[in-house]
Structure 1
Amino acid sequence: MILDFGTARMRATTVAIADPGPLERFLPESGPGSAFIRRGDGVVALGEVARFETDRLDAADVWWDEISNQIDHDSELPGEFGTGPLALGSFIFDPDRSMERSVLTVPQVIIGRRGDLAWMTRLGDARRGTALPSPGEPTRRPGHITQMGGSLRRGEWERIVAEVVTLIRSGEVDKVVLARDLHLKADGPLDLRHIYGRLLETYPMTWAYLIDGLVGATPELLLRRQGGLVTSRVLAGTVWQDGSGAVDPLALAAELARSEKDMSEHAFAVRSVADALAPYCRAMNVPDSPSVLRLPNVMHLATDVTGVVEPGATSLALAAALHPSAAVCGTPTHLAMDIIAEVETIDRGRYAGPVGWVDMDGDGEWAIALRGGQVRPESPESIQLFAGAGIVADSTPSVEVQETAAKFVPMLQALGVAPS
């Protein structure tokens, strides 16, 4: 589905503003509103002047190029990264097997901040001036929430993990990322702004996203294209704390860095990203060994792959080339994708797909939609959470299900539900 402003040209104005305070406070309780924020920096988008629903990232890239060429932009901040008209979107994990659609929208108003710089971009009616929109209504905490369980029982999911381990050990595939879900239902419509605010407060180091009913806080940046440079943060290999505080975090980090299973899983993911970016880059830097990224409830092996981008490769085009990486799918990609479709039993929808924004120059930030959940318009009181784990030859089913349980924690905390 395409909704846009046809062939008519549209004017956009970007102005510098005083610090607006927490960006998320401008999100409306009802009506279109999106956000992509990390450590207080990012954008909140209000209203919608154009919308594109699709199956493919490359189709969205073509659409945004056509739309952005119809916008005349006046800016007080020319050349500043992320300012001006944007398209924000989230994309389904597997376009060949999902009943859902990817979405890319062009907002009417954007309020942004990066470091000491704050701005507002408005598309359309210039008579509205430079006054900031009023903050949204106070957020509502969820009422009583019932955990409805997942599409599969824990034992059933462990059995599937064991089957996939057998396939890997037989040499059919090197790695497969398997996901499971958890359904929760409140006694009234969920206010996603409240969930989003809790995620921002508890997990400031992540990229928190809220787009078209999809909400979460992901530690994994699929890519940032800024000028002629691209960066992709690869996370694969995980260890988690049990909440008792009995284990020294430094000891856990050392355990992760020594784990052959986790190092192997991470190497697959790094190689898949480097191979996907190589055709679009003049030069690349791939570190020889990962670092350890510590989050409040888990630690990950992390590698930042960087490259000098060839002209014309937009952030959406790069996202199309990178997705799905081994970190969320497996290796080899086509075999892992087939296995996921055969055994996983759930429609991931936009979970584990790219989520973020692109500007008129093709720069942008796209994360991977992890540590999140989906609320659908037909059931605003219900949310489906997702979590996954990378399965390799040394994987143990009971340990993998514990890893997914640890990855459910951020969303359960945000909902005010005690992890089980």
Structure 2
Amino acid sequence: MIELKEEQVETILEKAIEGINSDDDYQLVSMTKKIKYNNALSFFEAAKYIKKNRTFWMSSEEDFYLVGIGQAYEIIAEESRFEETKKAWNQLLEKATIYNPYEQPGTGIVALGGLSFDPKKPTTPLWENFKPSHFTVPEFLMTKHNRECYLTVNILVRKNDHPRQLANEWRDLENSLFQKASIEKQMLTITEKKEIEPTEWKETVRKAKEKINHSDIEKIVLAREMYLRFNENANIGSILQKLLDTHPSSYIFAIEKDEDCFLGATPERLVKLEKDHLLSTCLAGTAPRGKTKEEDQAISEGLLHDQKNREEHDFVVKMIKNAIKDCCTHLDVPNEPIIYPLTNLQHLYTPVTATLKKEYSLFDIIEKLHPTPALGGTPKEASLQFIREYERLDRGWYGAPIGWLDSNQNGEFAVAIRSALIKDTEASLFAGCGVVKDSNPDEEYEETNIKFLPMLSVLGG
């Protein structure tokens, strides 16, 4: 299993420590090796009683998994969050020692995390553990990509550390994490279910519609919350297993911060970067799935030709194209959307591809794209101002960019929808919809009910 020998580990650590000049200085040492295939969720579960702050990421398109355990380094930014996060990431890489002969996506130094939807909106205790920009480089990272499996160990070393002691601690922890752990199958029971101010939410939809009809705003996305209480503490591993079983076409994610966990199954990619090749996704316009093949096909055709949904989708396509055009070359945008089917829902889908210019980074693209019209509205600033003023919800990381980036110039971020914030025996679920000039508050309310279903169904609802 181990290609990186113990004496190599000690030598790498020793050289890194020798290069540290002062007691206040540090260096991140990252070592990657190929391992035999290990079940990603089992690895996640094995860490439950060993390390806090686990992270799980799955992209079904490439059979790609990332599981982060613990934290070797954190990047937190409150002000000028995109610029500060990018600066801190680059400074970390400049000082790091990286042993990674594979350079596969998701290996080497990888930071996993996300950002809040709107740092200008006052925060509440609900999201106190999730900062405006918060990324973690885990102590242990298991990566599964194209049927190959890798383990990356990240160790923050200081001047007076001892290489052998660090190597021994690393080996002992690794052995503990690779103990086979079965996923505890949990049948959660919802003891309390409460929609947060549904009548007031419909009234906000009416206000948004009125604002649109008397201004230059074309669309405002409004979100709402559902509160659940369970009969016992929720087991995150069990919930993830259910999400993997029921939403194989979505990004499955879980980000633990102390006792809280934000998780979900989102179909919406924000951006993917492989070296300089960029892929973004326009996913807007929603309909349910049919109960029969014929009904499903009829609903798909209706969605493709529905004026409201096509307008909503076109807003997103135009915005993404305009947002990234100055940062890219070879921009390619199809003229017509196609249907993107999921377990409970289907969406209008348009992929956008381009080549990223050398002077721009993944964080630059995220800043330009977030929030897309599918989560904020259009024009961006005017719709955000309405949301800040009227939406009775602390979105936190809901609807915001979550994902990962690595030291090999790869990364991928999704939009955190179809999600829930778990706090032991409680959960807050989030869903939103786009309000346009012809919106009907009752119909928008029913659309959010449909969007609650992916998380509600795996939480005992």
TM-score norm. by structure 2 comes to 0.84
Between Structure 1 and Structure 2, how many residues are aligned? 406
SS in 1 for 2:48: coil
Give the helix-richer structure, 1 or 2. Answer: 2
Asked whether the 8 Å contact 1:44–1:112 carries over to 2, the reply is yes
In structure 2, distance between residues paired with 1:6 and 1:416: 50
Q: 1:154-181, CA deviations, whole angstroms, 9 ceiling, x for partnerless residues?
A: x332222122112212233100111011
In structure 2, distance between residues paired with 1:146 and 1:343: 30
Aligned partner of 1:365 in structure 2 is 412
Q: 1:35-83, CA deviations, whole angstroms, 9 ceiling, x for partnerless residues?
A: 11022422001111112333323322211111222221112313x2222
Letter in 2 for 1:239: A
Aligned partner of 1:54 in structure 2 is 77
Letter in 1 for 2:77: T
Asked whether the 8 Å contact 2:239–2:458 carries over to 1, the reply is yes
Deviation of residue 250 (structure 1)?
0.8
Cα root mean square deviation, aligned: 2.0
Aligned partner of 2:32 in structure 1 is 14
Query: Residues 98 and 105 from structure 1, CA distance in 2 versus in 1: closer, same or farther, beyond 3 angstroms?
Result: farther
Deviation of residue 6 (structure 1)?
6.3
Instruction: Say which of 190, 195, 207 aligns to 1:150.
Output: 195
Letter in 2 for 1:133: F
Deviation of residue 344 (structure 1)?
1.2
Query: Does 2:64 correspond to 1:29?
Result: no
Query: Residues 143 and 122 from structure 1, CA distance in 2 versus in 1: closer, same or farther, beyond 3 angstroms?
Result: same
Which has the higher Rg, Structure 1 or Structure 2? 2
SS in 2 for 1:141: coil
In structure 1, distance between residues paired with 2:64 and 2:236: 19
Asked whether the 8 Å contact 1:29–1:139 carries over to 2, the reply is no
Asked whether the 8 Å contact 1:33–1:44 carries over to 2, the reply is yes
Aligned partner of 1:81 in structure 2 is 105
Deviation of residue 373 (structure 1)?
0.8
Taking every aligned residue pair, what percent have the same amino acid on both sides? 28
Superposition pairs of residues 57-206 of structure 1, within 5 angstroms: 57-78=82-103, 80-99=104-123, 100=127, 101-102=131-132, 103-124=134-155, 125-127=166-168, 128=170, 133-136=178-181, 138-139=183-184, 141=186, 143-153=188-198, 155-206=199-250
In structure 1, distance between residues paired with 2:262 and 2:189: 21
In structure 2, distance between residues paired with 1:309 and 1:114: 23
Name whichever of 266-275 and 132-141 sits farther off: 132-141
Asked whether the 8 Å contact 2:188–2:460 carries over to 1, the reply is no
Structure 2 gaps of 5+ residues are 1-22, 156-165
Aligned partner of 2:12 in structure 1 is none
Aligned partner of 1:344 in structure 2 is 391
In structure 2, distance between residues paired with 1:58 and 1:126: 35
Deviation of residue 133 (structure 1)?
2.9
Name whichever of 214-223 and 337-346 sits farther off: 337-346
Deviation of residue 321 (structure 1)?
1.8
In structure 1, distance between residues paired with 2:400 and 2:271: 12
Deviation of residue 246 (structure 1)?
9.0
Deviation of residue 200 (structure 1)?
1.2
Asked whether the 8 Å contact 1:240–1:403 carries over to 2, the reply is no
In structure 2, distance between residues paired with 1:239 and 1:196: 25
In structure 2, distance between residues paired with 1:305 and 1:6: 45
Query: Residues 397 and 146 from structure 1, CA distance in 2 versus in 1: closer, same or farther, beyond 3 angstroms?
Result: same
Superposition pairs of residues 224-243 of structure 1, within 5 angstroms: 224-241=272-289
Letter in 2 for 1:38: S
Letter in 1 for 2:282: V
Asked whether the 8 Å contact 2:188–2:459 carries over to 1, the reply is no
SS in 1 for 2:76: strand
Query: Does 2:262 correspond to 1:214?
Result: yes
In structure 1, distance between residues paired with 2:214 and 2:308: 17
Query: Residues 341 and 113 from structure 1, CA distance in 2 versus in 1: closer, same or farther, beyond 3 angstroms?
Result: same
Query: Residues 110 and 191 from structure 1, CA distance in 2 versus in 1: closer, same or farther, beyond 3 angstroms?
Result: same
Instruction: Say which of 21, 37, 43 aligns to 2:66.
Output: 43
Deviation of residue 317 (structure 1)?
2.5
Superposition pairs of residues 316-395 of structure 1, within 5 angstroms: 316-376=363-423, 380-395=424-439
Superposition pairs of residues 294-313 of structure 1, within 5 angstroms: 294-313=341-360
Query: Residues 167 and 6 from structure 1, CA distance in 2 versus in 1: closer, same or farther, beyond 3 angstroms?
Result: farther
Q: 1:73-125, CA deviations, whole angstroms, 9 ceiling, x for partnerless residues?
A: 112313x2222110001210001114142321110111111112211111124
Asked whether the 8 Å contact 1:316–1:358 carries over to 2, the reply is no
Query: Residues 307 and 206 from structure 1, CA distance in 2 versus in 1: closer, same or farther, beyond 3 angstroms?
Result: same
In structure 1, distance between residues paired with 2:372 and 2:231: 38
SS in 1 for 2:265: strand
SS in 2 for 1:276: helix
Query: Residues 96 and 240 from structure 1, CA distance in 2 versus in 1: closer, same or farther, beyond 3 angstroms?
Result: same
Query: Residues 247 and 344 from structure 1, CA distance in 2 versus in 1: closer, same or farther, beyond 3 angstroms?
Result: farther
In structure 2, distance between residues paired with 1:314 and 1:36: 22
Asked whether the 8 Å contact 1:351–1:372 carries over to 2, the reply is yes
Query: Does 2:331 correspond to 1:290?
Result: no
Query: Residues 296 and 138 from structure 1, CA distance in 2 versus in 1: closer, same or farther, beyond 3 angstroms?
Result: closer
In structure 2, distance between residues paired with 1:60 and 1:87: 11
Deviation of residue 295 (structure 1)?
0.6
Structure 1 gaps of 5+ residues are none
In structure 1, distance between residues paired with 2:269 and 2:437: 26
Segments of 4+ moved more than 6 angstroms:
none
Q: 1:214-248, CA deviations, whole angstroms, 9 ceiling, x for partnerless residues?
A: 10010000000111111111111111147x55961
SS in 1 for 2:135: strand
In structure 2, distance between residues paired with 1:301 and 1:149: 31
